[in-house]
A and B are shown apart, each in its own frame.
Chain A
Amino acid sequence: DIQMTQSPSSLSASVGDRLTITCRASQTINNYLNWYQQKPGKAPKLLIYAASALQSGVPSRFSGSGSGTDFTLTISSLQPEDFATYYCQQSYSISRTFGQGTKVEI
């Protein structure tokens, strides 16, 4: 299976900060990389698919980049509602593995 490694595992930030989370795949996955946001007690929400495509309804402060094995999720100006846990996921292989998550705290 393809292993997905996110960094950092957690971070503290403030409203207005620019935030970057990285995700590395254990082998090339082209651009088949997705990002999700999850708030406590809620189902995950798809933010970015195909590495850089913004899912409908997601604010433009979220952006994704990368290809091959290294990817990033950027939040240009952190808002109060953005404090959550973020997961990357590869959809290159049949087994759609997730990263371990990055918790963004105030």
Chain B
Amino acid sequence: EVLLVESGGGLVQPGGSLRLSCAASGFTVSDNFMSWVRQAPGKGLEWVSIIYSGGNTYYADSVKGRFTISRDNSKNTVYLQMNTLRPEDAAVYYCTRAMEGIAGGLGFDYWGQGTLVIVSS
């Protein structure tokens, strides 16, 4: 069974840092594209970042230069290091697995339960 379990959310002051973890089971993270998606309270879904199976990483403009996606193959875990946090980064952060076709993406087929990040003084 495929499972994604996020952790690491919490309350942080503006300008602070937080590292989110996504522990995967039932498949190998390094063989797949993995992505983070966030949802601010009462708002829609916002794509945040993706790490390809080959290791390339990409970010939304809103987080570029502040967030870093990475993975630990030995732990089958994906991370999102979030620095210089702003109030507008407050959201539920979801870890997802991205299905990939030959020439493009095919959607995020598995999602974690989400972890809440609150940015407030």
The answer to whether the Cβ of B25 comes within 8 Å of any Cβ in the partner chain is: no
| Chain A CB within 8 A of B26 CB | no
Residues 18 to 69 of chain B near chain A (Cβ within 8 Å) = 35, 37, 44-47, 50, 58, 60-61
Question: Which of A13-21, A43-51, A67-75, A76-84 contacts the other chain?
Answer: A43-51
| Interface flags, A15-39, vs B, CB<8A=1, else 0 | 0000000000000001010101010
CB–CB B113/A96 < 8 A: no
Interface assignment of A65: CB less than 8 Å from any CB of chain B: no
Q: Which residues of A contact B105 (CB under 8 A)?
A: 32, 34, 91-92, 96
Does A91 lie within 8 Å of B45, measured CB to CB? no
The answer, among B47, B50, B99, B112, for a CB contact under 8 Å with A98, is B47
Tell me if B101 and A101 are in contact (CB < 8 A): no
Interface SS of chain B: strand
Query: Is B111 within 8 A of A44, CB to CB?
Result: yes
Residue B15 lies at the interface, judged by CB distance under 8 Å to chain A = no
- Per the bound structure, the CA–CA distance linking A22 and B97 in Å amounts to 25
Count A-side interface residues using an 8 Å CB cutoff.
Answer: 27
Please measure, in the bound complex, the distance between the C-alpha atom of A11 and the C-alpha atom of B113, giving whole angstroms: 27
Looking at A53, A95, A99, the one whose CB has the most chain B CB atoms below 10 A away is A95
With beta carbons under 8 angstroms apart, the residue of B45, B46, B104, B114 that contacts A92 is B104
Q: Which residues of A contact B61 (CB under 8 A)?
A: 1
Closest A-chain residue to B114, C-beta based?
A: A43
**A-to-B contact residues, CB < 8 Å:** 1, 30, 32, 34, 36, 38, 43-46, 48-50, 53, 55, 87, 89, 91-92, 94-101
Show the binding face of B for A, using Cβ within 8 Å. 35, 37, 44-47, 50, 58, 60-61, 94, 98-99, 101, 104-109, 111-114
List 20 additional A-B contacts (Cβ < 8 Å) besides A38-B45, A55-B107.
A32-B104, A34-B105, A34-B106, A34-B107, A43-B114, A44-B37, A44-B111, A49-B107, A50-B106, A53-B106, A87-B44, A94-B58, A95-B47, A95-B60, A96-B35, A96-B47, A97-B47, A98-B45, A98-B46, A101-B45
